[in-house]
Structure 1
Amino acid sequence: MSVTAQVEAWMRAHRDEVLGWRRHIHAHPELSNQEHQTTEFLATVLRAHGFEPVLFPGTGLMVDIGPNDTERVAFRADIDALPLPESTGLEFSSLNDGISHACGHDVHTTVVLALACALADVELEYGVRMIFQPAEEVMDGGAEEVIRCGVLNGVHSIFALHVEPKLRVGRIGIRAGAITSASDVIDIVVHGPGGHTSRPHLSADVIYGLGALATQLPALLSRRVDPRTGTVLVFGQIESGIAPNAMPDTGRLRGTLRTADIHTWRTMEPLLSELIGQVLAPTGCSHTLEYTRGVPPVLNDDVATALFAAAGKRMDPQSIVESPQSSGGEDFSWYLEHVPGSMARLGCWSGEGDRHDLHQGDLLVDEGAITVGVSVFAALLDEYSAAP
């Protein structure tokens, strides 16, 4: 009997138990690097199914399944929540004020947890590793830390799913190459001698300099960077001054720089610093730039993505759709710097009502997505067994 058939049979028998896990995790969200109760809950469930999970320093854990004399296929779940109040009205809404699983990590975690438990009595041809990673939602992600802990030792490929409320349940969105973007934070402080608005010629106009940067920097980047890289600079914060007739001596401009091209990402900081200096030169203002590198784009491996597509078609020939490239960041990218793998989009819209967005307190996820996620991961294991 195939792995998929055995896992799906287990899911039918344990559906209510699995939904209970998801609802418990959803009701008890924890912020990045604070996922202590979540880690303990996962460890308790895994131990009850005969596993000996390995705890990471701080929070998070992993568990190995199957033979130890082969390289492993890894599946990654992220376990942290967001500092957002929940407004879904669900009976199992967040019990932690101001914190919610508004990005669907409770679903990701449940999928990998259920897959692990379903595989407890399955005869596997090769090893599998389940990674429950903390701190995906913070810069620059918890993936690097768990990689340093050795989670990729002996791993030849890695896979992940991310819920997508724009896709109906049953659909899996795949994309070879960049499926997400790099996301860096830009913090520019502009300096100049202040003064009075009646004598602007005696000072450097910090406000004017900030305005020039806000309008000219994005335009200049579009002429210095290949537009096919999807490079976008957007400012979300500008602040300066305390009075209408006083010219301030400092001001601040903050935003994000995103790109789908990893080579462009690696050259952005010196280019941006150069352009800022050129824009401000006529004003007489100086500046300091704090450039905080985030995560690289998730670059899905062609072969791993093809395996995802084949796995989805095993489950349902109509399940696979092409996913658009997102401007969001995802620290799954760090794993793909070391081993090939792929992240796919897991449809979670019920087909009725509004399609709620990620990172919003009203995000609703159809729980049927959990069964789909477990099935497609199981089908991936069958694809590996069938591969020459």
Structure 2
Amino acid sequence: MPPPFDEISRVVTEHEDELIEFRRDLHQHPELGRAEVRTTGLVAERLESVGIAARRLHGTGLIADIGAPEPVIRVALRADLDALPIREQTELEFASRTDGVSHACGHDVHTAALLGAGFALKAVEDRLRDHGVGARLIFQPAEELMPGGAQDVVSQDGLVGVDRIFAVHCDPGLDVGHVGLRVGPITAAADQVDVTLTGRGGHTSRPHLTQDLTYALAKVVTDVPAALSRRLDPRAAAALVWGSVHSGGAHNVIPATGKAGGTLRMLDAETWEGVEKLLDEVVHAVVAPYAVAADVTITKGVPPVVNDASCIDALTAAVVGAGATVASTPQSLGGEDFAWYLTHVPGAMARLGTRRPGGLTYDLHRGDLVVDEGAIAVGASTLAGCVLASAAHHLLPRPSGMRAPRAR
């Protein structure tokens, strides 16, 4: 059978200081989605330093295979490379040196953990080959964009020959050493929504001679989410939240254009698939009394991440093998483009605890996010362990005449 979990953990421990330094380097030099040029290069260099050849994707990101070239089972492990357009406010010694950009979602931790998993799997590669086991490391660009980089990976044959796929995501609400698992949906569907209003502007003393666009935009911001709550099944848990609203630039001028941007999230995939027409209808109904023109653009983002039960079994074994603690975790309204991989192959995503025990609870997508770097080794051992656990199950002895299925 494949190597034991403790051998994987031993190799990760040997490299832990190196992985922490690597993560800090990435943290100091964050790069936005589809611009992760330096990050891609650094990952490639570190992989090549231990004999792992990487294939670069068009633009940014890379893929590397370890183990049997034509495996009986191939398990993919994914990390995301990109940062967010958020100014860091941590005052860490290794804080971001790029103004207005930071790793406020923990992707630097994901990347370092996957690199560590790669080191560990490379150390036992001969035995993986002997048992027909392959591992694919996917360092994906642009998870924070819509549409995200997962579809870039799929379009460049990143899942060809893959039987299942795993990932971890930082969770600052869980203590380090804990990994949150859930069978079924663990994230929500998410789209990007942009509403642009245009109309006849003018002087604020004569609103009756204009089309009061700012007032109409305010109604969009407040009334559209309310109307959707009465038009959609409440079990879908739809939430339209605005993150950007712009209209005008002077106190006494009614502008001729205004914009609102936000995200529409929901727990139910079926409702998500048919929401575009309804949203457009509601926006136009809300602004109709003010005689302004409305343009509604929905950029389809991601379906929910739905964790496969057998893959959660493998993750459970991997977490225990890493010496960590399995924790239950609820479905959230957060969106994750890892979901697109799961429309092609079964897989699962785990929540990786990053909170220092007894320390502060931070949140993702905030400039003050601080993680306990002990999570890197836990993530690395867990990801590598998913390969071992998946292989062990797949390669169990079968009744006479039955063969393990070949990878697609």
* 1:210 aligned counterpart, secondary structure: helix
How far did 1:300 drift? 2.0
Indicate the residue corresponding to 1:187 in structure 2: 194
Letter in 2 for 1:146: V
Indicate the residue corresponding to 1:119 in structure 2: 121
1:143 to 150, 153, 162: 150
Indicate the residue corresponding to 1:325 in structure 2: 331
TM-score by length of 2: 0.87
What is the CA deviation profile of residues 222-264 of structure 1, one whole-angstrom value per residue up to 9, with x for unaligned ones?
A: 1221112121112233343566666554433332211122222
Q: CA RMSD in A?
A: 2.3
Q: Is the 8 A contact 1:38 1:79 kept in 2?
A: yes
Indicate the residue corresponding to 2:285 in structure 1: 278
Letter in 2 for 1:320: V
What is the CA deviation profile of residues 138-189 of structure 1, one whole-angstrom value per residue up to 9, with x for unaligned ones?
A: 2221111121111100001110001111100111111223222222222222
Q: Is the 8 A contact 2:199 2:213 kept in 1?
A: yes
* 2:195 aligned counterpart, secondary structure: strand
Change (3 A) 1:99 1:288: closer
2:243 to 215, 236, 241: 236
Indicate the residue corresponding to 1:336 in structure 2: 342
Q: Is the 8 A contact 1:63 1:129 kept in 2?
A: yes
What is the CA deviation profile of residues 275-301 of structure 1, one whole-angstrom value per residue up to 9, with x for unaligned ones?
A: 122223334333221222222222222
Q: Is the 8 A contact 1:3 1:378 kept in 2?
A: no
Letter in 1 for 2:36: E
What is the CA deviation profile of residues 301-342 of structure 1, one whole-angstrom value per residue up to 9, with x for unaligned ones?
A: 2322232233323444x7111222222222111211211111
How far did 1:194 drift? 4.5
Q: Is 1:363 aligned to 2:369, yes or no?
A: yes
Number of residue pairs matched by the alignment: 387
Change (3 A) 1:321 1:201: same
Letter in 1 for 2:53: E
How far did 1:77 drift? 0.8
Q: Is the 8 A contact 2:9 2:322 kept in 1?
A: no
Q: Is the 8 A contact 2:311 2:390 kept in 1?
A: no
How far did 1:21 drift? 2.2
2: CA distance, partners of 1:219 / 1:88: 36
Change (3 A) 1:29 1:211: closer
Change (3 A) 1:49 1:184: same
Indicate the residue corresponding to 1:129 in structure 2: 136
How far did 1:217 drift? 1.4
* 1:65 aligned counterpart, secondary structure: strand
Indicate the residue corresponding to 2:405 in structure 1: none
Change (3 A) 1:368 1:236: closer
* 1:167 aligned counterpart, secondary structure: strand
TM-score by length of 1: 0.91
How far did 1:18 drift? 2.5
Change (3 A) 1:282 1:49: same
* 2:167 aligned counterpart, secondary structure: strand
Indicate the residue corresponding to 1:21 in structure 2: 22
2: CA distance, partners of 1:149 / 1:102: 28
Alignment of 1:93-242 (within 5 A): 93-122=95-124, 123-124=127-128, 125=131, 126-194=133-201, 203-241=210-248
Moved more, 85-94 or 138-147: 85-94
Indicate the residue corresponding to 1:35 in structure 2: 36
Q: Is the 8 A contact 2:187 2:334 kept in 1?
A: yes
Q: Is the 8 A contact 1:3 1:381 kept in 2?
A: no
Change (3 A) 1:181 1:18: same
Letter in 1 for 2:45: T
2: CA distance, partners of 1:246 / 1:52: 60
Q: Is 1:88 aligned to 2:94, yes or no?
A: no
* 1:159 aligned counterpart, secondary structure: strand
How far did 1:196 drift? 5.8
What is the CA deviation profile of residues 16-52 of structure 1, one whole-angstrom value per residue up to 9, with x for unaligned ones?
A: 2232322222233222222222222211221121121
Q: Is 1:73 aligned to 2:75, yes or no?
A: yes
How far did 1:201 drift? 5.2
Moved more, 43-52 or 12-21: 12-21
2: CA distance, partners of 1:385 / 1:263: 33
* 1:93 aligned counterpart, secondary structure: coil
* 2:86 aligned counterpart, secondary structure: coil
Q: Is the 8 A contact 1:180 1:260 kept in 2?
A: yes
2: CA distance, partners of 1:202 / 1:41: 60
Change (3 A) 1:199 1:153: same
Change (3 A) 1:250 1:361: closer
1: CA distance, partners of 2:84 / 2:57: 21
Change (3 A) 1:81 1:243: closer
1: CA distance, partners of 2:115 / 2:202: 62
How far did 1:200 drift? 5.2
Q: Is the 8 A contact 2:47 2:53 kept in 1?
A: yes
* 2:358 aligned counterpart, secondary structure: coil
Gaps of 5+ in 1: none
Change (3 A) 1:248 1:100: closer
2: CA distance, partners of 1:243 / 1:43: 50
* 2:142 aligned counterpart, secondary structure: coil
Change (3 A) 1:4 1:242: closer
How far did 1:385 drift? 3.1
Indicate the residue corresponding to 2:265 in structure 1: 258
2: CA distance, partners of 1:363 / 1:128: 31
State the 4+ residue runs in structure 1 displaced beyond 6 angstroms: none
Gaps of 5+ in 2: 397-408
Q: Is 1:291 aligned to 2:298, yes or no?
A: yes
